[in-house]
């Protein structure tokens, strides 16, 4: 085979450079990102999520939490999924994540199914988290909680345990700390109250609410007594209690509980103090109007999902959500 001349090599280089320069390095997310490259991607994700929830309804809350814990640490980039290796420390062992986030095997299942139907690694792990969160909410909450998830994220090649420890809100945060934490992510009071509604599904570990039920006064005493049966003063750290009375349905019971001082976590009850604040008014609104909650919840989820995504040529599309290429 004849070798290429220097002139031919130069022309190829110029053409590649020109084409590459046309690819946006920081493209906007769009709900239509996979419409042409893999139209079966989103239906496939929904199918796997549905079967996972049928196996275990709690997994819907876990998938929603994964998306939240991903986005609050250096943006929605799939970094929360990376496993530790001898030469790499991920975010899974950060204090807010350890014994808290789960559902990684379902993400692996989704990734395998999507790559199969797309005939290759087309869909990012970050987009899988965003879509699985949306599907979980819609499956457990019904059509009013469906929204068009924005897509086009790429996956990070790095993770930060330190950032996870610093940026994820604690269940012991007071209101000013919550406001500051959400503001640092570009989120406001309405986003804080609406996104906290994610606690309409799922469970809390005893260690996250023990101090509240034994030492705090802004809690219904009968409610506190009922929680003490699950969470003793000593031991039982991993015993679980539902975050509201309907832990497998997305609806507004969570907010009604706050009106009667039945928030499980200290940070939950901080949203309602009965002092007429913006937060108080939103809790009252959502407690009475599921449609208002659904509308604001979806809007805030979309806003959260747009926190510093990697797009264009940034990052990568992982072959395995647990490790970089």
How many angstroms separate the CA atoms of 285 and 292, rounded? 7
Structure pTM?
0.90
Q: Do the beta carbons of residue 182 and residue 192 sit within 8 Å? A: yes
By residue count, the chain amounts to 325
* Residue limits of CATH 1.10.520.10 in the chain: 41-167
Mean per-residue pLDDT for 125-146?
98
235 is in an annotated binding site: no
Residue 7 is predicted with a pLDDT of 43
Distance (Å, whole) CA 62 – CA 53: 10
Q: Name the helix (H) or strand (E) containing 254.
A: helix 253-259
Q: Is 305 annotated as a binding residue?
A: no
Give me the CATH topology for the region 175-302. Peroxidase; domain 2 (1.10.420)
pLDDT for 26: 42
Neighbours of 99 (CB within 10 A): 13
- Annotation-wise, does 246 bind a ligand? yes
User: Distance (Å, rounded) from C-alpha 89 to C-alpha 163?
Assistant: 12
- Contact between 140 and 53 under an 8 Å Cβ cutoff? The reply is yes
Mean pLDDT of the 119-131 span? 98
- The candidate with the shortest Cα–Cα distance to 66, out of 267, 305, 316, is 305
Q: How many CB atoms lie within 10 A of CB 288?
A: 13
Residue 91 assigned as binding residue? no
Q: Which two tokens stand for residue 220?
A: 């219904």
Domain with CATH 1.10.420.10 in the chain: 175-302
Contact 195, 187 (CB under 8 A): yes
- pLDDT of amino acid 93: 96
Residue 230 pLDDT level (bands cut at 50, 70, 90) = very high
30-48 confidence digits (pLDDT tens):
999 999 999 999 999 999 9
pLDDT higher than 70, residue 18: no
- The two tokens of residue 252 are 């507004």
* Number of Cβ within a 10 Å radius of residue 222: 9
Structure tokens at 321: 């959500």
**What pLDDT does residue 144 have?**
96
Which tokens belong to 316? 């990568």
Distance CA 252, CA 246 (A): 9
**Do 298 and 194 meet the contact criterion of CB atoms below 8 Å apart?**
no
SS3 248: strand
CB atoms within 10 A of CB 20: 10
Q: Are 80 and 73 in contact (CB under 8 A)?
A: yes
* Structure confidence at residue 16 as a pLDDT band (50, 70, 90): very low
Q: Is 70 annotated as a binding residue?
A: yes
User: How many helical (H) and strand (E) elements, i.e. helices and strands, does the chain have?
Assistant: 14, 2
Q: Bridge partners of 241?
A: 204
To 10 degrees, the CA torsion angle through 287, 288, 294, 297? -40
Class of domain 41-167: mainly alpha
Q: Which runs of consecutive H residues, i.e. helices, occur in 142-248?
A: 161-167, 175-183, 189-196, 206-215, 221-228
Residue showing tokens 């609050």: 72
For residues 221-241, average pLDDT: 97
The residues carrying an active-site annotation are 69
Rounded to 5 degrees, φ, ψ at 242 are -65, 145
pLDDT grade for 28, boundaries at 50, 70 and 90: confident
Q: DSSP letter at 321?
A: T
Rounded Cα–Cα distance for residues 244 and 220 (Å):
14
């Amino acid at each position: 085979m004849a070798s290429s001349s220097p002139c031919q090599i130069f022309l190829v280089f110029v053409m590649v450079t020109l084409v590459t320069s046309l690819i946006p390095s920081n493209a906007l997310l769009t709900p239509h990102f996979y419409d042409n490259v893999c139209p079966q991607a989103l239906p496939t994700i929904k199918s796997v999520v549905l079967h996972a929830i049928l196996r275990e309804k709690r997994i819907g809350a876990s998938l929603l939490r994964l998306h939240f814990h991903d986005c609050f640490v250096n943006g929605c980039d799939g970094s929360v999924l990376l496993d530790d290796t001898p030469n790499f420390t991920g975010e899974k062992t950060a204090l807010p994540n350890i014994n808290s986030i789960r559902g990684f095997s379902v993400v692996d299942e989704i990734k395998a199914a999507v790559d199969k139907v797309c005939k290759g690694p087309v869909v990012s792990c970050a987009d899988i988290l965003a879509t699985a969160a949306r599907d979980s909410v819609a499956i457990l909450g019904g059509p009013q909680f469906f929204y068009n998830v924005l897509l086009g994220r790429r996956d990070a090649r790095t993770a930060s345990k330190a950032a996870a420890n610093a940026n994820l809100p604690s269940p012991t945060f007071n209101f000013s700390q919550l406001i500051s934490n959400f503001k640092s992510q570009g989120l406001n009071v309405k986003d804080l109250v609406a996104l906290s509604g994610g606690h309409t599904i799922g469970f809390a570990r005893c260690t996250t609410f023990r101090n509240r039920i034994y030492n705090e006064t802004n809690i219904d005493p009968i409610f506190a007594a009922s929680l003490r049966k699950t969470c003793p003063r000593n031991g039982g750290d991993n015993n679980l209690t539902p975050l509201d009375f309907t832990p497998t349905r997305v609806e507004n019971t969570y907010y009604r509980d706050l009106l009667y001082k039945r928030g499980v976590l200290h940070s939950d009850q901080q949203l309602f103090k009965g002092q007429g604040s913006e937060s108080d008014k939103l809790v009252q609104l959502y407690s009475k109007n599921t449609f208002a909650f659904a509308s604001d919840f979806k809007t805030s989820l979309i806003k959260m999902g747009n926190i510093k995504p990697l797009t264009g040529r940034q990052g990568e599309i992982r072959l395995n959500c647990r490790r970089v290429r």
